[in-house]
Chains A and B, each alone.
Chain A
Amino acid sequence: MASPTTTDTATRAAASPTVTRVTSPGGLEAWLVEEHAVPLVALEFAFLGGASQDPAGRPGVANLLSGLLDEGAGPHDSDAFQNLLADRAIELRFYADRDTLRGSLKALTTHLPAAIDLLRLAVNEARLDADAVARVRGQVEAGLRHELYNPDSLAGRAFFANAFPGHPYGRPTRGTIESVGAITRDDLAAYGAQALARDNLRVAAVGAISADTLAQVLDDVFGPLPAAARLTPVADVTAASPGGRQVIDVDVPQSVVRFGGRGLKRLDADYLPGYVMNHILGGGVFSARLFREVREKRGLAYGVSSSLVPMRHSALFLGGTATKNERVAESLEVIAAEIGKLAADGPDAEELRLAKQYLIGSYALHFDTSTKIAGQLLQIAVEGLGMDYIDRRNDLIEAITAEDVRRAGTRFLAPNELIVVVAGRPVGV
């Protein structure tokens, strides 16, 4: 067998798609990768704001609105609108996370004009008809009821509530059964009027579409929006520390564990070194320390991992696992010990070399479908990393030193300050 090879610069260059900045006559910007091999177009876009803009005490507005944008717009009621999409196999989805309300459009080139027209209506003229609001509200509520005693969602919600008490990030993105029930049509319309605008919009497009056509699409779809969003300022916040432990009682044989604390923001100079450090601790590979110690050596869990979760106004280090109730205490000890060891000693040189080699080599795997490329471009745009980031990224990883990684690690690997949430019936926790 061949020995592991070092990074291949030619591969890196070849892996980078050619990104073009498209500016419309109306002044809107999008990043484009034009690619005609498959006759489809993928368009991804985001309005900054997201669930952080939900009215205080009424979480779930952005999420409910995202479910209603394709449920009737312009002259078409919900049924007609859905038929127009489905008749042409157009895939249009909206969803909200803590910082953005996002849209995703995929269409065959044959049906692109119709797809663009429906998107224009959804973004500008969503009807929010009473029956559609009632139906989608019912669907969101059913989803929340379905998860009410699900240990995974309970642990996830509690983690954010504990990390960010009193801050919009501490609220559940999809709201609660009570808050969703209280959302009015006025709440939805007000959110749309304030948070869907041209200045907080980021757009990426990939596929069989020219720059000129995309420019026109931008003006047609997003041109009618207000120039500036009226966003409620969101305070910068640091995850609560020390965190403490919370146990949520659920009658299940296996407990779900979330652990973490403060992380590193995306534009922080230590973010990428921290990303490398986290990869060594709990990245999604079989060689990660947590995976080796918790799963491979001890058989404590099927999965265990950790990640850095940067947000616009904060950042988390967040990990999780699920293990039988009798072995939760042991799992938590192993996890804290591994975090402590890595914080104190740093990774060994070979481990660091292999981690960098993995992260550099695997970057190309994020660019092998139109939807994935568009998603990557959009994320880079949302995070403000610059259009050339794809070309720069592997060199940035390559330049990271052991010292960088250790310094970054001390900023989020804090085994004694972890926020720990356990949902289940853990023994001895």
Chain B
Amino acid sequence: MIQAPTNGLRTDERAVPSRDARGPEVYASTLDNGLDVVVIPDRRVPVATHMVWYRNGSADDPLGKSGIAHFLEHLMFKGTEAHPEGHFSDVVASVGGQENAFTSFDYTAYFQRVAKEHLGTMMSFEADRMNGLAFDEAVVAPERDVVIEERRMRTDSDPDEQLGEAMAAALFTHHPYGNPIIGWMHEIEGLTRADALAYYRRFYTPENAILVVAGDVAEAEVLEQAAETYGRIPARGERPQRFRPREPEPHASRRVTVRDGKVEQPLLRRLYLAPSVITARSGEAFALDVLAEIFGGGPTSVLYRDLVMDKKAAVSAGAWYMGNAVDATRFGVTAAPRPGMPLGDLETMIDDTVADFIAKGVDEADFQRAKTRLVAEMVYAQDSQATLARVYGSALAIGESLEDVSEWPSRIEAVTPDAVIAAARTVLDARRAVTGYLEPERA
């Protein structure tokens, strides 16, 4: 321990308003046309983050049209009836703003980050493209080529990504989470302007959208600007429905192997079908958050200590849980073997570690550490308006409430060791799993 600074540090600590305990300041409301609005003030710098989230993602792509959600996201930058292609981006750039968009399984989001005085301008442009999209046939083919190059870059040049894609396809036998967000190559190649516009008309409506503004703003001012811009978009009557088949209860453990001459470092990956924060029984998703942290969250985790530190079978090992999803989701485990360690042996060791963990129960120090780390994440998130906007936007987009987000730390605190073991027993079951091997080409 250091002596002299301690008093100083403790003084600082008392002087700090305990924002960590209360969570960030957040306001929610809904416009007359059904658009949800979330405002998260952060007055430290005169900057605002403006996001619009749509409650549709790649898992809502029509059958045979995989990739359409993502392709439409690209085409949303191609102009509207009021503003030709490039106009919006030019205005964003001219005020020193940053912009982009992203597509996930359950949602699609568009954002700009600007000096706060430009927020109204961003809102007027973003509202305009919520129902005014208009682009020529001529832009479709080059933009589809851009998406095809994006797929080649992300997946087709990388055997590890190909393994991930094949594993998801095997894990989800019926649910569209088994399709890649960017789409299958042969289906991307066939996507048309008509496909994009049909999808746009179905999902891009005020009832289906969430406006999130974080930064140096006041709630009243944001609501006033939102009413003048987004508020003018006519309501459609009701929110579009997602048609999501339910994944059946799995019974078969599956194995997927990718062998490629470009692989020099083998990898073992595993995905378990797990309940999401939306589908889980009371508290189980929070238990899975704690489980992922204890079992595979970094160098102090059970899996890392066992495989890397003690058995020296792997050079790295970890686990993660994608709880924020509308439907049944993934709990993942990854390990990279040390040279000469066969993947089959490593897989047996992982199974042993899981069995041993369930049999012995949760170590008290591990349990406390996991909770501390998870809860601290929320405090660290408060340092970034962009992170907070993402946390709240993604939660609402999958069907959570603001309370679900603000109460997450207390729900994590409420998880018991027994609940962690029960979740492990249910989810970390070989019959729910796909195991992936990434291996060098055999000579």
- Closest partner residue, chain A, to B149 (CB atom): A302
**Distance of A14 Cα from B300 Cα, bound (Å):** 42
Across the interface, A368 reaches (CB within 8 A) one of B95, B145, B373, B385, namely: B385
Given contacts A11-B117, A145-B265, A300-B145, contact A362 B96 (CB under 8 A): yes
B102: chain A residues within 8 A (beta carbon):
none
Q: Is the CB of B144 within 8 A of A220?
A: no
B50-58, B151-159, B186-194: which one contacts chain A?
A: B151-159
Across the interface, B8 reaches (CB within 8 A) one of A145, A210, A357, namely: A210
A417: chain B residues within 8 A (beta carbon):
none
**Distance of A85 Cα from B365 Cα, bound (Å):** 13
Q: Within the complex, what minimum Cβ distance (angstroms) separates B219 from chain A?
A: 18
Q: Is the CB of A15 within 8 A of B45?
A: yes
Does A298 sit at the interface, judged by CB under 8 A? yes
Q: Within the complex, what minimum Cβ distance (angstroms) separates A122 from chain B?
A: 14
Place the interface of chain B in its size category.
35 or more
From residue 112 to 136 of chain B, which have CB atoms closer than 8 A to chain A? 113-115, 117-118, 120-121, 124-125, 128
Does A5 sit at the interface, judged by CB under 8 A? yes
A70-93 CB mask vs B (1 if < 8 Å, else 0) is: 000000001100110011110100
B373-413 CB mask vs A (1 if < 8 Å, else 0) is: 10111011011111100000000000000000000000000
Q: Within the complex, what minimum Cβ distance (angstroms) separates B443 from chain A?
A: 16
B162-201 CB mask vs A (1 if < 8 Å, else 0) is: 0000000000000000000000000000000000000000
**Distance of A242 Cα from B87 Cα, bound (Å):** 39
Q: Within the complex, what minimum Cβ distance (angstroms) separates B82 from chain A?
A: 8
Does B282 sit at the interface, judged by CB under 8 A? no
Q: How many positions in chain A have a CB within 8 Å of any CB in the partner chain?
A: 91
Q: Is the CB of B142 within 8 A of A296?
A: yes
Q: Is the CB of B309 within 8 A of A371?
A: no
Interface of B: prevailing SS = helix
**Distance of A302 Cα from B154 Cα, bound (Å):** 10
**Distance of A145 Cα from B336 Cα, bound (Å):** 11
Q: Is the CB of B149 within 8 A of A4?
A: no
**Distance of A89 Cα from B380 Cα, bound (Å):** 10
From residue 296 to 337 of chain A, which have CB atoms closer than 8 A to chain B? 296-303, 322-324
Q: Is the CB of A286 within 8 A of B369?
A: no
Q: Is the CB of B96 within 8 A of A220?
A: no
B385: chain A residues within 8 A (beta carbon):
368-369
Given contacts A148-B264, A251-B261, contact A361 B115 (CB under 8 A): yes
Does B77 sit at the interface, judged by CB under 8 A? yes
Q: Within the complex, what minimum Cβ distance (angstroms) separates B173 from chain A?
A: 28
**Distance of A21 Cα from B379 Cα, bound (Å):** 27
Q: Is the CB of A4 within 8 A of B91?
A: yes
B265: chain A residues within 8 A (beta carbon):
142-143, 145-146, 148
Q: Is the CB of B384 within 8 A of A369?
A: yes
B15-23, B30-38, B237-245, B348-356: which one contacts chain A?
A: B15-23
B77: chain A residues within 8 A (beta carbon):
286
Q: Is the CB of A108 within 8 A of B20?
A: yes
Does A354 sit at the interface, judged by CB under 8 A? yes
- Closest partner residue, chain B, to A106 (CB atom): B380
A138: chain B residues within 8 A (beta carbon):
315, 338
**Distance of A88 Cα from B371 Cα, bound (Å):** 10
Does A364 sit at the interface, judged by CB under 8 A? yes
A295: chain B residues within 8 A (beta carbon):
146
Q: Is the CB of B315 within 8 A of A139?
A: yes
Q: Is the CB of B46 within 8 A of A36?
A: no
Does B299 sit at the interface, judged by CB under 8 A? yes
Q: Is the CB of B142 within 8 A of A299?
A: yes
- Closest partner residue, chain A, to B146 (CB atom): A299
Q: Is the CB of A40 within 8 A of B383?
A: yes
Does B220 sit at the interface, judged by CB under 8 A? no
**Distance of A151 Cα from B152 Cα, bound (Å):** 12
**Distance of A94 Cα from B262 Cα, bound (Å):** 30
**Distance of A371 Cα from B125 Cα, bound (Å):** 31
- Closest partner residue, chain A, to B157 (CB atom): A252
Of the candidates B263, B305, B376, the one having the most CB atoms from chain A within 10 angstroms of its own CB is B376
B244-274 CB mask vs A (1 if < 8 Å, else 0) is: 0000000000000000011111000000000
A344-384 CB mask vs B (1 if < 8 Å, else 0) is: 00000000001001111111110111110000000000000
A212: chain B residues within 8 A (beta carbon):
8
Across the interface, B5 reaches (CB within 8 A) one of A108, A213, A371, namely: A213
Does A246 sit at the interface, judged by CB under 8 A? no
Does B221 sit at the interface, judged by CB under 8 A? no
A286: chain B residues within 8 A (beta carbon):
77, 86, 89, 93, 99
Across the interface, A14 reaches (CB within 8 A) one of B46, B95, B368, namely: B46
Q: Is the CB of B372 within 8 A of A89?
A: yes
Given contacts A83-B369, A117-B2, A364-B45, contact A39 B20 (CB under 8 A): yes
A278-291 CB mask vs B (1 if < 8 Å, else 0) is: 00000001110000
Q: Within the complex, what minimum Cβ distance (angstroms) separates A353 from chain B?
A: 9
Given contacts A40-B383, A142-B316, A142-B336, contact A357 B44 (CB under 8 A): no
A14: chain B residues within 8 A (beta carbon):
45-46
A357: chain B residues within 8 A (beta carbon):
94-96
From residue 118 to 170 of chain A, which have CB atoms closer than 8 A to chain B? 120, 135, 138-139, 141-143, 145-146, 148-151
> Top 10 closest A-B pairs, CB basis?
A361-B96, A299-B145, A89-B376, A299-B142, A149-B262, A4-B94, A213-B8, A362-B96, A145-B265, A302-B150
| 27 A–B contacts from the bound complex (CB under 8 Å) | A5-B117, A5-B118, A8-B115, A36-B12, A37-B17, A38-B19, A38-B20, A89-B372, A91-B380, A108-B379, A120-B2, A138-B315, A149-B261, A150-B158, A208-B12, A209-B9, A210-B8, A220-B2, A252-B157, A252-B262, A286-B86, A297-B142, A302-B150, A358-B94, A358-B96, A364-B47, A369-B386
Binding site for A on B (CB under 8 A): 1-2, 4-6, 8-13, 15-20, 42, 44-47, 77, 83, 86, 89-91, 93-99, 113-115, 117-118, 120-121, 124-125, 128, 141-150, 152-153, 156-158, 160, 215, 261-265, 298-300, 305, 308-309, 312, 315-316, 336, 338, 365, 368-369, 372-373, 375-377, 379-380, 382-387
Extra pairs beyond A79-B309, A149-B261, A220-B2 (20, CB < 8 Å): A1-B124, A2-B121, A5-B95, A5-B117, A39-B19, A83-B369, A113-B5, A116-B5, A141-B315, A145-B265, A217-B2, A252-B262, A285-B89, A287-B86, A287-B89, A299-B145, A354-B93, A357-B96, A362-B96, A364-B47
